[in-house]
Amino acid sequence: MSDVDAATTLAQIAASCGDALPLPPAGSDEQVFAEPWQAQVFAMTVVLHENGLFTWPEWAQALSRRVADGAPDGSDYYLRWADALEDVLAARGVAAPAEVEATTQAWHDAAARTPHGRPIELQPRS
């Protein structure tokens, strides 16, 4: 599942993950991800589940809470997905919200100083 990208369709995800995964909203042959980061946060979630960090029922509960707080039309679905992942990481003691925020800011800073076409590299924390 780690090879998920923005062109992945829901049918491909379902074939890879089976019925236990709370699937993103889309028709089975539509492109599921509008942006690469959406595919990446989806893939991170699947890999963390596959490695036993949480169960699908735990994930579905976290995602449901965040989706309920989201835009009525679902336009922010993957932002809510990322929020739910942060919630699960915090609940499991993997990453506190402040750590997630600091890493997010470091990523934005690194992206801003990286020339187009070059890999973004985070600086080690001092």
Banded model confidence at residue 12, pLDDT cuts 50, 70, 90: low
> Residues 14, 20, 21, 25: is their CA dihedral positive or negative?
positive
The answer, yes or no, to whether residue 19 has pLDDT greater than 80, is no
φ and ψ at residue 87, rounded to 5 degrees: -60, -45
Burial of 68 (0-12, 13-18, 19+ CB in 10 A): exposed
pLDDT at position 94:
92
Please give the average per-residue pLDDT across 3-24, as a whole number.
54
- Cβ-based neighbours of 3, under 8 Å, separated by 6 or more: 43
- The amino acid sitting at 123 is Q
pLDDT digits over 68-90, tens only? 888 888 889 899 999 999 999 99
**pLDDT tens by residue, 39-75:** 889 888 988 988 999 988 888 899 989 988 888 888 8
Sign for the CA dihedral angle at 59, 87, 96, 92 comes to negative
Predicted confidence (pLDDT) at residue 14 exceeds the cutoff of 60: no
pTM of the full predicted structure? 0.69
Residue 29 is given by DSSP the state T
